Amino acid sequence: MAKTLVGVFDDLGSAQGALNELKAAGIPDRNLRLMDSDDASTRWSGGEVPWTEKVSGWFRSLFDDEDDRNYADDYSEALRRGNYVLVADVGSERVDDVSAIMNRYGSVDMRERRQRWSEKGYEGYDASAPAYTAEQRAQEMSSYQQDKQGETIPVVQEELALGKRVVQRGGVRIHSYVEERPVEEMMRLREERITVDRRPADRPAEAGDLAFQERTLEVEAMGEEPIVEKRARVVEEVVVGKAVEERDQPVKETVRRKDVKVEQASADKARAQPRQPAPRHR
């Protein structure tokens, strides 16, 4: 039984990647169609009816189930806003495989996308609304990326940052002072002493004897006394310095890590929209 799956992508690279993998998985080219707003406007332009309305009608024609038809306007709106739409006609046995491939390349959840459009002022599908310009498309994608960034869950991990600081491990205080102590040295001194001796004599006077003349003779006695002089002399030196040694010391600490656990959603929630499209009308 034939089924039609529709995947909506935000960028051409993702849509083209899904298309190539579907071909590699054995889906014939005739059963695959990749469209953007230019393709759709070229194919369905002309006449008084806007091409977006024709596109919406074409999507409705693909499905018999009314629930699936409700997405027709969303697919047309996605094309008008510049998204890329990939349509695949496959047998019912290949639905899960094709859905998995589309989701792996970032197929848009149309329920979530329609909700986001509503938050930005979207009140419902308007077939007469003009196609988005490149600038409008860029602004919307920028807003979408910012919204996605708001859902980022950080993985936080602590790391050790080692540093060093100088602390006092010891020291010395050097104080110089004056000390007095008595000393004693032995010193030999020379001292003169005057002696006067009278001795008897009996000889004739000579010319040098200066007989009968008055004379005064002074004799001085000399002596040595100690003279004390102090001289400063360096007898010892105290040298103060520092010796630097290096050593390795292990640092033990506990760091924390905030991690994120990712659980896979069930296969039913991971399929491309619509989840179980009805057979395409031939």
pLDDT tens digits for range 221-265: 898 888 888 888 888 888 888 888 888 888 888 888 878 777 776
Q: How confident is the model at residue 48 (pLDDT cuts 50, 70, 90)?
A: low
Residue 281 has pLDDT above 60, yes or no: no
Tell me how crowded residue 60 is: count the other CB atoms within 10 A of its CB: 19
Q: Which two tokens stand for residue 25?
A: 């998985």
Q: Give CA 262 to chain center in angstroms.
A: 24
CB 264 within 8 A of CB 159: no
CB 99 within 8 A of CB 280: no
User: How far apart are the C-alpha atoms of 117 and 80, rounded to whole Å?
Assistant: 13
Q: Which two tokens stand for residue 8?
A: 């909506």
* Burial class of residue 276 in the structure, from the number of CB atoms within 10 Å of its CB (0-12 exposed, 13-18 middle, 19+ buried): middle
DSSP letter for 88, please.
Answer: E
| Mean predicted lDDT score pLDDT of the chain | 80
Tell me how crowded residue 29 is: count the other CB atoms within 10 A of its CB: 9
Residue 19 has pLDDT above 90, yes or no: yes
- SS3 of residue 6 by DSSP: strand
Q: Can you give the pLDDT at residue 282?
A: 33
Tell me how crowded residue 3 is: count the other CB atoms within 10 A of its CB: 21
What share of the chain has pLDDT > 70, as a percent? 83
Q: Give CA 77 to chain center in angstroms.
A: 42
Average pLDDT over residues 72-84: 84
Average pLDDT over residues 34-40: 81
User: How far apart are the C-alpha atoms of 129 and 125, rounded to whole Å?
Assistant: 9
Sign of the Cα pseudo-torsion (100, 104, 107, 112, in order): positive
User: How far apart are the C-alpha atoms of 74 and 113, rounded to whole Å?
Assistant: 9
More confident residue, 83 or 125: 83
Residue 18 has pLDDT above 90, yes or no: yes
Radius of gyration for the alpha carbons in the chain, expressed in angstroms and rounded: 59
User: How far apart are the C-alpha atoms of 48 and 145, rounded to whole Å?
Assistant: 36
pLDDT tens digits for range 182-236: 988 898 988 888 888 888 988 887 777 666 777 788 888 898 888 888 888 888 8
* Burial class of residue 241 in the structure, from the number of CB atoms within 10 Å of its CB (0-12 exposed, 13-18 middle, 19+ buried): exposed
Closest of 261, 179, 188, 255 to residue 226, by C-alpha: 188
Residue 49 has pLDDT above 90, yes or no: no
Q: Can you give the pLDDT at residue 147?
A: 65
Q: Which two tokens stand for residue 67?
A: 């629930």
Q: Can you give the pLDDT at residue 60?
A: 75
Residue 270 has pLDDT above 50, yes or no: no
What share of the chain has pLDDT > 90, as a percent? 10
Average pLDDT over residues 143-151: 64
More confident residue, 145 or 152: 145
Residue 63 has pLDDT above 70, yes or no: no
Angle at 49 between CA 47 and CA 55, to 5 degrees: 110
Residue 269 has pLDDT above 60, yes or no: no
